[in-house]
Amino acid sequence: MNVPIQPPSAAETKACCAAAYGSDVVALLLGESYHPGGLGLTRRLADRLRLSGGDRVLDVASGRGASALLLSGEYDADVTGVDLSPTNIALANDAARSTGLADQTRFELGDAERLPVGDADFDAVVCECAFCTFPDKPTAAAELARVLRPGGRLGITDVTVDPTRLPPELSGLSGRIACVADARPLDEYTDILTGAGLTATRTERHDAAIAAMLDQIEARLMLVRMTARDQAEALGVDFDRAPTLIAAARAAIGDGVIGYALITAQKTV
């Protein structure tokens, strides 16, 4: 008898993502910024948001702080980062102190669906390659809108997916951690933002960025296998299946099933 596989609960997804993105293995695979396009795409997002000195910025799912530190160091913004991983928070705060940016950059433990900050506290919010992992996207979007001042700006970069064509091997929990399984089409993201009182002002495709990151992951897998195999397997990395998953993802990118996008929006009220 075939028993249907139940999708992971919201709590399970959050716990697995926090464990994965707080690990040194994932840092080795993804690089310092944890998202396609790296800090170059972060700069593009900041420019699209017209960030300037003194702007109060919230970085949601801030990882180990690379983007937040760039925004404070290069754009003179006052940045608060929020992340689910205690490991990431500790490392990011250490990085802020070591770079002399602790006065204008700080990191706090928190959930995107219940942000630990006040209403209308920020001029801008950024969220890079994370919105797609949030189990309750409308609630997360409402939180992003809540913390923005009237007229405040939101900038997202994220994986886009045509879920009707996503290969089944990319639709499980490993796919969620890889930012694919619960990603949405670009127009669905903008619809979710609209429902939260945010008006999309710009969308851009950056599909080449996710293809480049896939190449990077493939190139680094052998190094991880040699230097951190036990830690990787404890996180669920299956080195035997990895080539099949990478091939499926590469084909899906080539067919336009998986892509990457930049979205900016503004709070309308």
Q: Is residue 148 part of a domain?
A: yes
Higher local confidence (pLDDT), 120 or 236? 120
Residue 107 has pLDDT above 50, yes or no: yes
252 in a structural domain: no
Q: Using CA atoms, how far apart are residues 35 and 216, in angstroms rounded to an integer? A: 11
The domain in which residue 53 lies consists of 10-24+32-208+259-267
pLDDT of 1: 38
Query: Would 239 be classed as within a structural domain?
Result: no
Report if residue 139 sits inside a domain: yes
pLDDT tens column, 184-217: 999 999 999 999 999 999 999 999 999 988 888 8
Residue 92 lies in a domain: yes
More confident residue, 194 or 247: 194
For the chain, give the mean pLDDT.
86
Q: Is 19 exposed, middle or buried (0-12, 13-18, 19+ CB in 10 A)?
A: middle
Query: Is residue 134 a part of any domain in this protein?
Result: yes
Q: Would the pLDDT of 4 be above 60?
A: no
Contacts of 162 (CB under 8 A, 6+ apart): 185, 256, 257
Whether 249 is covered by a domain: the verdict is: no
Q: What is the pTM of this model?
A: 0.85
* pLDDT score for 244: 85
Answer with the residue of higher pLDDT: 99 or 23: 99
Count of domains in the chain? 1
What pLDDT shows up at residue 179?
A: 62
Q: What is the CATH number of the domain that holds 128?
A: 3.40.50.150
244 in any annotated domain: no
What is the per-residue pLDDT for 249?
Answer: 87
- pLDDT score recorded for residue 5: 41
Q: How confident is the model at residue 154 (pLDDT cuts 50, 70, 90)?
A: very high
